[in-house]
Amino acid sequence: MTKAKRKRLIYNLITFALVIAAFIILQSMIANKMISRSLKGQLVPICAWIVMAVSLNLVIGFSGELSLGHAGFMSVGAYTGAIISGWLLQVYEVQDTTLRLVLAMVAGGLIAGIAGVLIGIPVLRLRGDYLAIVTLAFGEIIRSLVNVLYVGVADGKLHFSFLNKNMPAGVSMLVDGAKGAVKIKPVATFTAGFVLILITLVVVLNLVNSRAGRAIQATRDNRIAAESMGVPVTKYKMMAFVTAAVLAGMAGALYGLNSSTVIPTQFTFNQSINVLVFVVLGGLGNVLGSVVSATLLTVLPEVLRAFADYRMLVYAIVLILVMVFTNNPTIRAFADRLFAPVKAIFRRSKKKTAGGDAQ
Amino acid sequence: MKKFFAMMLALAMLLTCVSAFADDDVVTLKIAHIGPTTGGAALYGQATRDGAAIAADEINALGGKYRVELINEDDEHNVEKAVNAYNAALDAGAQIILGTTTSKPCEAVGALAVNDRVFMLSPSASSEAAVEPDNVFQVCFTDPNQGAASAEYIAEHKLGTKVAIIYNNADVYSTGIRDTFVEKAAELGLEIVTQPITFTDETTDFTVLVAEAQNAGAEIVFLPIYYTPASQILTVAAAKEFKPIFFGVDGMDGILEIEGFDKSLAEGVMLLTPFVATAQDEKTVSFVTKYQEAYGIKPIQFAADAYDGIYIIVAAAEKAGITAEMVRKAEEEKDPSEICEALIAAMTEIEVEGLTGTMTWDESGKVTKTPMAATIVNGEYVFE
Amino acid sequence: MIFLDNLINGLSLGSIYAIIALGYTMVYGIAKMLNFAHGDIIMVGAYVAFCGLQYWGLPPVAAILVAMAVCTVLGILIEGLAYRPLRQAASLAVLITAIGMSYLLQNLALMIWGANPKSFPRTFINSFSIQLGQLNVSSATIVTILANIVIMVALSLFINQTKVGKAMRCVSEDRGAAELMGINVNRTISLTFAIGSALAAIAGVLLCSSYPILQPTTGSMPGIKAFTAAVFGGIGSIPGAMIGGVLLGVIEIFGKAYISTELGDAIVFAVLIVVLLVKPTGLLGKPIREKV
């Protein structure tokens, strides 16, 4: 086993260990009723946002393309999930909530994946900010379209209509235009969220560490060099983009089925930006970082409730300060000096065990 | 700053009241107001929060059996945040919810509260879906109610037959009223002369929308929307010299209070509304004066709804005979279901005379009160 | 007739997008960053002008000048405090800081001016209308279109003819080489922000003169649309921003007028996608030549 491989393995193990440990701790807290309602209510959304952040990191961090429409895939997943779950319940009378949730998530991922392919084909021909703006445009288009979508169940069949609400009599609406997906029976659970995070981590970490993953990162670092080495750049970028879309779709289904209603305005450009913030703050290409930052930044506004109306002001200031402090070379150098003794100890102990591959 | 002082003062009053009468006869209802006090819908959430605060102060100052302790939580007009706000409110010891201010968050919170058995009274969430759970009641009209009433009023008073509707299709309130208006209009022989004319919260330009109504020769433009976009539409229409009858619903109230708005543009606008800040009855004058002193602006209808909401909850508590013992038990067991059931039963039996009319409720949670038709003349509301 | 009416409305909306897009494109061209807070500087400019007109009783021109001054200072402050420390950092880090700044400005505005909307008062900009045959053109439209042309010409002259403008172009071309030639890069970038923010103030006044509602979120959607317009025209290019902005406005209005108001925004973005697929660097963008 090479050193690089060993290092990666350790990093992956730490990531999994931390996620599993967090799950076990939280589960035991729930079992012992040691958890506040507020935190308990946020668990499923946090899982969904973690998956969103990790999947977006695959596009931005590993593939190097700035996508500003990730919430669009989430909305596709959330709507698909709500429709499938409602359809299964009303037409086939599937009472098993786990089965409904799993099928809804699979369908959400599938449809979002198809959307990912359709969007990826034109988008990945572009570069840089142009690519960013086109993903933004797709995100907004998805939102406009969903806003005039009507889906209902009548006589054991699904009815779709677009722009105008043409529904047979006695219909039970699942998606009602601007009113969004309505009367969802919430079936999402924290355990399902946890499993989805594990799946996401397995998929993303495996992809990144595979031949395809190395090719993806090679195209990020130098597209021309990779191309001249015979790497089919577009194919691999597509792979990353669609994988991310599928995961976002599954996260969307989980998120949508956690609440009784979902509306198009929940998945705006601002939401895409939020996920982008998670990714950048956690570190590009750093999966564990995405997990941690998605969790912290979702909980932060809730912790700041004590500040009442000043809460989002404080959030904004924290965001700016964190960005400035973690990215400014002077401040970083200062911090490095400050932690140098600690690091030196760490490095020495590492040298003993791993044979000195630090730095 | 003024607001800050007012809040401190309110807090101080609350504290003195609670300490002065802390015996077994006094029942302190722990009510959480949930609404968007930041973000794009902040003006509605701040209005309900401030209106509720004034009612709570009045009740506490009166020193009767029932006192109100208000907890405020912000939901940013976002479903996920609304659920968080609800959970945070319960963590903070709330036993009754005054909220949420907007419809979609109200639906999401209601779906949880119905299982937790927490009583909810929404000041202003107007969609029908919001009141579906048995524990949720409304202060304002439901959307279908308003849509049908508007169509009836227009037909009855023969204001015209060619109608155009400009509405916000990203908003549940607006689409809800529009849908029933269209249904009712067909029955009454009113003709909708255009394709759907819609905008969203992000729309900047309203000229096309107004032009479409103008080109179709509409005699009446129905505006089931809030006053902010309505003021834009009126401005555009004036510039285009388009002068149909503009007919609004309760969301239109507040248009005369927009700072810098040229009131002459709203001349002749008609609206069905249960509350206007310029009404001269004693209650409204007292409320408006207090509100203006505390917050420096005139209250909009949302504030009046929330003000009534607090009084309604207290009236229901009185009817239900909520005792200090029940409150204490709910606090200890973290389970306000007993209070909830008692209030649900009481709601259908009470009649409350508030700023927004005389209100009664049935089991569906919908309110019955009469909207009044007002016309804006010389920058004032004139009732018929 | 209706067609002409729509065209004029489109030009008017497009001109506002264009002025905002100029700010985006200048900052992008020179500082190589997307200043997401630009839309919110517009909002601040509009609020300051509103205060000038409504509270301080200033004449319109003075109110606009005060708004420009405040925004200029604000732009320089933001650049100096939040963006300059990140000059060497990855572009995404700067983007996130800009987003944070956007949140900050919106929430500050909510604190200072409250959540209740304000209606922008009438000034010489929007007080009359001109009858051209059957066509009724409001003065706001005329002023906006004229202002747009004047600003674009002035900006082009400034960048192409003056020494400072030359310095800007140098920094935009190659920051390192510019520094070696004795150009003060930091000062040049500050100046860019100052000009961009002053333009934002003008855009804010024009935006609110045509569409008179003023709220803390007023700047965000026009900001995003203008950013789109800047990319549409080829980001970094001044005539590109102008053309992109105007086209975007016209497409938006025509889409709403002739296809569907419900799908108006979707149509704008769909056209944008098609254009970028045909011309991947925008209408007037320079093709990126990569050194190997």
What is d(CA C42, CA C105) in angstroms, rounded to the nearest whole number? 10
Collapsing DSSP to helix, strand or coil, B248 comes out as strand
Give the pLDDT band (50/70/90) at residue A295.
very high
Please determine, for residue A353, whether its predicted confidence score (pLDDT) is greater than 60: no
Look at B169 and A182 and tell me if their CB atoms are within 8 Å.
no
Set of chain A residues whose Cβ sits within 8 Å of the Cβ of C107? 310, 312-313, 316
Closest CA of chain C from B343, distance in Å: 33
List the single residue in A179, A259, A302 with the smallest CB-CB distance to B88.
Answer: A302
Please determine, for residue A179, whether its predicted confidence score (pLDDT) is greater than 90: no
Partner chains of C (3+ C-beta pairs under 8 Å): A, B
Q: What is the pLDDT of residues C77-136, one digit of tens each?
A: 999 988 988 888 877 888 889 989 999 999 999 889 988 889 888 888 777 777 777 777
The complex scores an ipTM of 0.88
Residues of C at the A interface, defined by Cβ within 8 angstroms: 28, 34, 82, 85-86, 88-90, 92-93, 95-97, 99-101, 103-104, 107-108, 110-111, 224, 227-228, 231, 235, 260, 262-263, 265-266, 269-270, 272-273, 276-277, 280-282, 288, 290, 292
Look at B111 and A261 and tell me if their CB atoms are within 8 Å.
yes
Closest CA of chain B from C8, distance in Å: 10
Asked whether C6 and C251 are in contact (CB, 8 A), the reply is no
What is d(CA A193, CA A191) in angstroms, rounded to the nearest whole number? 5
Collapsing DSSP to helix, strand or coil, A79 comes out as helix
Give the pLDDT band (50/70/90) at residue A151.
very high
Set of chain C residues whose Cβ sits within 8 Å of the Cβ of B231? 117, 119, 212-213
**The pLDDT of residue B380:** 83
Look at A127 and C34 and tell me if their CB atoms are within 8 Å.
no
The architecture in CATH of the region C2-278 reads: Orthogonal Bundle (1.10)
What's the average pLDDT block by block, 10 residues per block, for chain C (292 residues)? 86 92 88 87 95 91 95 94 86 87 92 88 79 78 90 90 90 87 90 93 92 89 88 86 92 88 85 86 72 54
Q: Give me the residue spans of the domains in chain C.
A: 2-278
Look at C272 and A134 and tell me if their CB atoms are within 8 Å.
yes
Please determine, for residue B8, whether its predicted confidence score (pLDDT) is greater than 60: no
pTM of the model: 0.88
Set of chain A residues whose Cβ sits within 8 Å of the Cβ of B170? 147, 178, 264-265
Answer with the residue of higher pLDDT: A106 or B179: A106
User: Which chain A residues in 285-314 lie under 8 Å from chain B, judged by CB atoms?
Assistant: 301-302, 305, 308-309, 311-312
Look at A280 and C269 and tell me if their CB atoms are within 8 Å.
no
Asked whether B350 and B371 are in contact (CB, 8 A), the reply is no
Classify residue A173: in a domain, yes or no. yes
Q: Which of A14-23, A195-204, B123-132 has the lowest mean pLDDT?
A: B123-132
Look at B79 and A259 and tell me if their CB atoms are within 8 Å.
yes
**The pLDDT of residue C268:** 87
**The pLDDT of residue B250:** 82
Asked whether B314 and B68 are in contact (CB, 8 A), the reply is yes
List the single residue in A127, A130, A324 with the smallest CB-CB distance to C82.
Answer: A324
Set of chain B residues whose Cβ sits within 8 Å of the Cβ of A37? 87-88, 90-91
What is d(CA C43, CA C107) in angstroms, rounded to the nearest whole number? 12
Q: Give B173's DSSP letter.
A: H
Length of chain C: 292
Look at A266 and B39 and tell me if their CB atoms are within 8 Å.
no
Q: What is the pLDDT of residues A196-207, one digit of tens each?
A: 999 999 999 999
List the single residue in A36, A45, A263 with the smallest CB-CB distance to B91.
Answer: A36
Please determine, for residue B261, whether its predicted confidence score (pLDDT) is greater than 50: yes
Q: Give me the residue spans of the domains in chain B.
A: 2-141+282-368, 143-273
**The pLDDT of residue A196:** 96
List the single residue in B207, B228, B241 with the smallest CB-CB distance to C213.
Answer: B228
With CA atoms as reference, the chain B residue closest to A42 would be B84
SS3 content of chain C, % helix, strand, coil (to 5): 75, 5, 25
A329 touches chain C (CB under 8 A): yes
With CA atoms as reference, the chain C residue closest to B214 would be C2
Look at B129 and A179 and tell me if their CB atoms are within 8 Å.
yes
Closest CA of chain B from C116, distance in Å: 5
What is d(CA A173, CA B329) in angstroms, rounded to the nearest whole number? 41
Asked whether A184 and A256 are in contact (CB, 8 A), the reply is yes
A265 touches chain C (CB under 8 A): no
With CA atoms as reference, the chain A residue closest to C277 would be A122
Classify residue A257: in a domain, yes or no. yes
List the single residue in C96, C111, C270 with the smallest CB-CB distance to A323.
Answer: C96
Asked whether B32 and B92 are in contact (CB, 8 A), the reply is yes
Collapsing DSSP to helix, strand or coil, A173 comes out as strand
**Residue A149, strand partner residues:** A162
Q: Which of B202-216, B307-321, C122-136, C142-156 has the lowest mean pLDDT?
A: C122-136
Classify residue A291: in a domain, yes or no. no
Residue C81: φ, ψ to 5°: -85, -40
- Which of C108, C127, C261 to probe the B interface (max B CBs under 10 A)? C261
Q: Pseudo-torsion of CA B163, B164, B165, B166, nearest 10°?
A: -150
With CA atoms as reference, the chain C residue closest to B210 would be C257
Asked whether B77 and B105 are in contact (CB, 8 A), the reply is yes
The pLDDT mean for chain B works out to 87
Look at B104 and A183 and tell me if their CB atoms are within 8 Å.
no
State CA A336 to chain mean position distance: 31
Chain pair A-B, CB pairs under 8 angstroms: 84
Length of chain A: 359
Q: Per the structure, how many domains does chain A have? A: 1
**The pLDDT of residue C135:** 77
A152: alpha, beta or left? (left if phi > 0; alpha if psi -120 to 50): beta
Asked whether B125 and B109 are in contact (CB, 8 A), the reply is no
Classify residue A330: in a domain, yes or no. no
List the single residue in B40, B206, B260 with the smallest CB-CB distance to C121.
Answer: B260
A161 touches chain B (CB under 8 A): no
The DSSP annotation for C143-176 comes to HHHHHHHHHHHHHHHHHHHSHHHHHHHHHHH-HH
With CA atoms as reference, the chain C residue closest to B300 would be C116
What is d(CA B4, CA A116) in angstroms, rounded to the nearest whole number? 50
CA-wise closest residue to B247 among B141, B166, B127: B166
Domain that holds residue A237: 3-267
Length of chain B: 384
Q: What is the pLDDT of residues B25-38, one digit of tens each?
A: 789 999 999 999 88
**The pLDDT of residue A214:** 87
Residue C236: φ, ψ to 5°: 100, -15
CA-wise closest residue to B189 among B138, B154, B144: B154
Classify residue A106: in a domain, yes or no. yes
Classify residue A256: in a domain, yes or no. yes
Closest CA of chain B from C243, distance in Å: 19
CATH number belonging to domain B143-273: 3.40.50.2300
Partner chains of A (3+ C-beta pairs under 8 Å): B, C
Please determine, for residue A359, whether its predicted confidence score (pLDDT) is greater than 50: no
Classify residue A209: in a domain, yes or no. yes
CA-wise closest residue to B31 among B113, B76, B93: B93
Give the pLDDT band (50/70/90) at residue A52.
very high
Q: How far is CA A135 from CA A65, A217, A229, in A?
A: 10, 20, 28
Highest mean pLDDT among A86-100, A246-260, B360-374: A246-260
Classify residue A356: in a domain, yes or no. no
The pair of three-digit structure tokens given for residue A193, joined into one six-digit string? 């969220």
**Surface-to-core class of residue A230, CB atoms within 10 Å of its CB (0-12 exposed, 13-18 middle, 19+ buried):** exposed
Look at domain B2-141+282-368 and name its CATH class: alpha beta
Pairing of β B372-377 and β B380-383 = antiparallel
What is d(CA A208, CA B62) in angstroms, rounded to the nearest whole number? 68
List the single residue in A40, A261, A308 with the smallest CB-CB distance to B107.
Answer: A261
A257: CB partners within 8 A, 6+ apart: A81, A82, A85, A101, A104, A184, A186, A187, A188
- Which of B50, B83, B178 to probe the A interface (max A CBs under 10 A)? B83
